[in-house]
Amino acid sequence: MADSVFLPGNILSLAAGAADRLIAAGNGDAALLYLWLLKAGGAYQTGPAAHALRWDPARTEAALSLLVGMGLAEANTQALAPALHPSEEPPEYTAADLNRELENKDSPFPALVGEVQRRLGKVLSTADLKCLYTIYDFAGLPAEVILLAVSWCVEESERKYGPGRKPRLPQIQKEALRWKERGVDTMEGAEAHLKRLAMLRSRSGQIMALLDIRDRPPVAREKEYIAAWVDMGFDDEAIRLAYEKTVLKKQSLNWPYMNSILKNWHQKGLHTLAQITAGDSVRPQRPASAAGATAPQPAAPGEADRRAREDMERMRAFLRQHSEEGT
């Protein structure tokens, strides 16, 4: 288990087995993040890790996925998305709190409300406003980042349930807080995070098809496996071969078993069908995602992306005007 290799203290101890896996992977990011995890006692949080390593959140999450694939970190909701404030719950905002912020001419919150209402096609209720204000005040996300999170949620809802289907504010709040937990709290970080989400969404559909699953999107746990495989740098043929071996052994798709096959190949530096067939384990190859040579590219921007950019331009124009009027 991953817990057994984390030994915090003034002297860091690295298990020989863990060192062997890191050396075989040949990935510097994974090794550096593993050292940070040792220092932190195994408690992963994207924000602190990215800050300490001077990386963006997407790079940090990619390194974590590699460690998950090597069995050196846990792939579960708690590890990937820790609580924003473990000892703190969002305050219970009152109608007076909301009115005070809405009437504050120096606050960008009223403009944010207007843009969110326009994007969702409805007037926000008091409960909705409390959710939005929780993101704005409690999480402290900039209005522009919040708007990007809203646009992403709208795009996902329409993609899953059809045109015109909008997410509820509690769903948007949950997603926005997840962004905050992962250190996505700047425009640059949000744009990088969205690119990674778009790439994984596109790649997930392709991989689900390779697994003969075409009638539904992946569930959360399946997304974690797929993200790890993408970050390890496997091509389609290698993933399909792992699937066929799994079905031959288990008579059906077994995600943990298939993941163990791919982890084994990854530890040997085998990421393509040619490498696997040849059994090329003498000189491990660096994962394609780490080298940046054959990493899958995000899908081309669509209608939802265009609308999100229009939202951003309106918000930026308001903030510029707001800044000029205050000077």
- Whether the model pTM is above 0.75: no
Angle at 249 between CA 248 and CA 252, to 5 degrees: 70
Q: Are residues 308 and 172 in the same domain?
A: yes
Query: What does the DSSP 8-state code read for residue 297?
Result: P
The residue from 46, 80, 114 where one domain ends is 80
Residue 284: pLDDT band (50, 70, 90) is: very low
- Say which residue, 172 or 321, is predicted with more confidence: 172
- The answer to the question of residue 72 being in a domain is yes
Q: Are residues 102 and 175 in the same domain?
A: yes
CA atoms within 13 A on the CB side of 231: 26
CA 200 to CA 223: how far, in whole Å? Answer: 8
Q: Are residues 13 and 66 in the same domain?
A: yes
Residue 308: pLDDT band (50, 70, 90) is: low
CA atoms within 13 A on the CB side of 289: 29
- The predicted-structure confidence for 155-183, as pLDDT tens digits, reads as follows 989 888 888 899 999 999 999 998 888 78
- The answer to the question of residue 235 being in a domain is no
CA 78 to CA 195: how far, in whole Å? Answer: 23
Give the pLDDT score at 48.
77
Give the pLDDT score at 81.
35
- The answer to the question of residue 216 being in a domain is no
Q: Are residues 164 and 313 in the same domain?
A: yes
- The answer to the question of residue 39 being in a domain is yes
The residue from 30, 45, 80 where one domain ends is 80
Q: Are residues 170 and 317 in the same domain?
A: yes
- The answer to the question of residue 46 being in a domain is yes
- The answer to the question of residue 289 being in a domain is no
Q: What is the DSSP code string of 70-109?
A: TTSS--SHHHHS--SSTT-------HHHHHHHHT-TT-SH
Q: Are residues 54 and 115 in the same domain?
A: no
Q: Are residues 73 and 101 in the same domain?
A: no
Q: Are residues 10 and 152 in the same domain?
A: no
- The predicted-structure confidence for 182-219, as pLDDT tens digits, reads as follows 788 888 888 888 888 888 888 999 999 999 999 888 88
- The answer to the question of residue 90 being in a domain is no
| Single-letter residue type at 264 | N
Q: Domain containing 149: what range?
A: 95-181+303-326
The residue from 80, 106, 134 where one domain ends is 80
- The answer to the question of residue 157 being in a domain is yes
How many residues does the structure list for the chain?
327
How many domains is the chain partitioned into structurally?
A: 2
Whether 120 and 154 have beta carbons less than 8 Å apart is answered as yes
Q: Are residues 315 and 175 in the same domain?
A: yes
Q: Are residues 56 and 10 in the same domain?
A: yes
Tokens 């709208």 sit on residue: 154
Output b/e per residue, 247-279; b: 16+ Cβ within 10 A. Answer: beeeeeeeeeebbebbbebbbbbbbbbebbeee
